[in-house]
Amino acid sequence: MKATKIKTLLKSSEIKKSFVVQGWVKTFRAKRFIALNDGSSLKNLQCIVDFENLEESLLKRITTGAALHLEGKLVESQGEGQKVELLVEKLEVLGDSDPEKYPIQPKKHSLEFLREKAHLRVRTTTFAAVMRIRSKLSFAVHNFFQEQGFYYVNTPIITGSDAEGAGEMFRVSTLDAKNPPLNEVGNPDYKQDFFGKETNLTVSGQLEAETYALGLGEVYTFGPTFRAENSNTTRHLAEFWMIEPEMAFYDLTDNMDLAEKFIRSVLKEILDNCFEDLEFLDDRLVKEDQSKPQAERSPMGLREKIKFVINNDFKRVSYTEAFEILRNSKQNKKKKFKFPVIQWGVDLQSEHERYLVESHFNCPVILYDYPANIKAFYMRRNEDNKTVRAMDILFPGIGEIVGGSQREERLEVLEKRIEEMNIDKKELWWYLDLRRFGTVPHSGFGLGFERLVQFTTGMSNIRDVIPFPRTPLNASF
């Protein structure tokens, strides 16, 4: 008999029928009640071992963390808390678990402790809920774009161009690290490396996605991205997943409209389909909040926040307007910002973004038309010749969740910018070709998938929403 998922059994009305279940013991009480979980559901299946001839030696092997194969009859539950339970008739221990050594005990563990046990943490209710939502979100991302007629393109992970400038890169090389061949000036000679040039892990698939947008029309990437910044924050990973749609014939407004529609659509999918997991994470957040001082507590519950984003338009504000709001804020006047807002053109720090989103507007904000000097070379220059058609989406509790722009489609303007920024033009010959042969206005953005999972699950540290986080000094597992 094939095993039935616990999720299915908990909803089943096939009383008295026999079933097989397989999973891991969460708890075992009174030598009788096993709470079994197989990952399919937040809830455990209560399984009752109450048959003759069950040897004491077998009973001893039913410990927290052990893997079991059970066969029995589904019956209406006598106890509280569940509709049905399984009366076990046959029990097999598939994998023992030493209760003294198993780290995931049936008690509350700190998230920090569980990060050290990342190979087992998905056995906890919290991580299982987060990872189920992460999976659903990925699917919702593909679903949204596929339904809109976008094509999924896989851009390279190893890249030979370091022109994007989005962050520090990880070098990819097969040269002998101890004794690399050297060139005339005494540096490692990458001409002798695997690709005959210096290569790195990609920081973004955008430039390559642009080539596909200018042929397929509307495309998106969804893949791993690498940044070697030494930033130990709750919002940065060295390896994260990014979704990057890129669209021909879109201007910046079309780009913002798409981003809003996209975020709403995937959040709605989760709200509609992940009821139990969301309810659990919502309660978890409420409990966590209770241990915080009043001022730091969240004004909204998790589901309330998600609904708010689904039901309210994002506030669209130009950099210049935002700059004025910040400059004139009490916060700034009382010198409460670590980085005072004085000069138009400064890059906004996360304290400024938080002020705008969490204190001033109290809703997601799209900032657009940034000063050219704080943005990448490929963004389209505005008529004022000072700003570019950039847009960042800022979320409460998260900060920047999306970064995007309309792209510079005019060859001369783009070439001039590349020169001004001292970027090697030769490396970008293929990117410039797009402006030589059938150039069109086009736009795109990048959404950090883990930041979206953070928002949806209410997890405050980005390390807790990716199975195996990669951060400075941390690449175990």
Residue 472, token pair as written in the block: 């400075």
**Most distant pair of Cα atoms in the chain: their distance:** 86
Residues 381-400: x/- map of binding to ligand 4AD (CB under 6 A)?
-------------------x
Q: Give whichever of 353 and 409 is closer to Mg ion, judged by the CB atom.
A: 353
For the CB of residue 385, give the shortest distance to ligand 4AD in the complex, in Å: 22
Q: Which residues bind Mg ion (CB under 5 A)?
A: 403
The listed partner (Mg ion, ligand 4AD, none) that binds 445, CB under 5 to 8 Å by sort, is: ligand 4AD
3-state SS assignment for residue 354: helix
370 lies in the site for ligand 4AD, by CB under 6 A: no
446 lies in the site for ligand 4AD, by CB under 6 A: yes
Alpha helices in 4-124 (DSSP H): 6-11, 56-60, 111-115
441 lies in the site for ligand 4AD, by CB under 6 A: no
Q: Give whichever of 264 and 451 is closer to Mg ion, judged by the CB atom.
A: 451
- Run of H or E including 305: helix 302-311
- Where on the phi/psi map is residue 291: left (φ > 0), alpha (ψ -120 to 50), or beta? alpha
Q: Give whichever of 47 and 367 is closer to Mg ion, judged by the CB atom.
A: 367
For the CB of residue 136, give the shortest distance to ligand 4AD in the complex, in Å: 19
Cβ-contact 208, 156 below 8 angstroms: yes
Contacts 24+ apart (CB under 8 A), 370-373: 370/319, 371/319, 371/344, 371/345, 372/417, 373/345
Q: CB under 6 A: which stretch of 7-15, 63-71, 147-155, 401-409 binds ligand 4AD?
A: 401-409
For residue 410, the one-letter residue type is: R
- What's the CA gap between 377 and 416, in Å, rounded? 10
- What's the CA gap between 418 and 472, in Å, rounded? 31
Q: Give whichever of 236 and 417 is closer to ligand 4AD, judged by the CB atom.
A: 236
Q: Give whichever of 222 and 445 is closer to Mg ion, judged by the CB atom.
A: 445
Residues 45-84: x/- map of binding to ligand 4AD (CB under 6 A)?
----------------------------------------
For residue 425, the one-letter residue type is: K
For the CB of residue 345, give the shortest distance to ligand 4AD in the complex, in Å: 19
Q: CB under 6 A: which stretch of 299-307, 356-364, 412-420, 448-456 binds ligand 4AD?
A: 448-456
Q: CB under 6 A: which stretch of 54-62, 331-339, 442-450, 465-473 binds ligand 4AD?
A: 442-450
Q: How many residues bind ligand 4AD (CB under 6 A)?
A: 21
Alpha helices in 61-205 (DSSP H): 111-115, 125-147
Contacts 24+ apart (CB under 8 A), 103-106: 104/64, 104/65, 105/64, 106/26, 106/27, 106/64
3-state SS assignment for residue 155: coil
137 lies in the site for ligand 4AD, by CB under 6 A: no
For the CB of residue 446, give the shortest distance to Mg ion in the complex, in Å: 8
450 lies in the site for ligand 4AD, by CB under 6 A: yes
For the CB of residue 322, give the shortest distance to ligand 4AD in the complex, in Å: 16
Q: Give whichever of 129 and 237 is closer to ligand 4AD, judged by the CB atom.
A: 237
Q: Give whichever of 277 and 450 is closer to ligand 4AD, judged by the CB atom.
A: 450
Residue 293's alpha-carbon distances to 396, 397, 459, in angstroms, are 19, 16, 18
200 lies in the site for ligand 4AD, by CB under 6 A: no
For the CB of residue 271, give the shortest distance to ligand 4AD in the complex, in Å: 21
- Helices then strands, counting H and E runs in the chain, come out as 14, 16
Which regions of 161-303 does DSSP assign to beta strands (E)? 171-172, 199-201, 218-226, 239-248
Q: Give whichever of 237 and 270 is closer to Mg ion, judged by the CB atom.
A: 237
- What's the CA gap between 337 and 328, in Å, rounded? 12
Position of tokens 């004004």?
A: 299
Q: Give whichever of 88 and 447 is closer to ligand 4AD, judged by the CB atom.
A: 447
Q: Give whichever of 24 and 445 is closer to ligand 4AD, judged by the CB atom.
A: 445
145 lies in the site for ligand 4AD, by CB under 6 A: no
Residue 84's alpha-carbon distances to 7, 18, 48, 78, 87, in angstroms, are 12, 13, 11, 8, 10
Q: What is the DSSP letter of 48?
A: E
For the CB of residue 255, give the shortest distance to ligand 4AD in the complex, in Å: 9
Cβ-contact 350, 396 below 8 angstroms: no
3-state SS assignment for residue 264: helix
Q: Give whichever of 18 and 318 is closer to ligand 4AD, judged by the CB atom.
A: 318
Q: CB under 6 A: which stretch of 149-157, 298-306, 317-325, 402-410 binds ligand 4AD?
A: 402-410
Residue list 218-277, contact with ligand 4AD (CB under 6 A): 227, 236-237, 240, 242, 244
124 lies in the site for ligand 4AD, by CB under 6 A: no
Cβ-contact 163, 425 below 8 angstroms: no
Residue 158, token pair as written in the block: 């190893």
Residue 326, token pair as written in the block: 């910040």
Q: Which residues bind ligand 4AD (CB under 6 A)?
A: 166, 204, 206, 227, 236-237, 240, 242, 244, 400-404, 444-448, 450-451
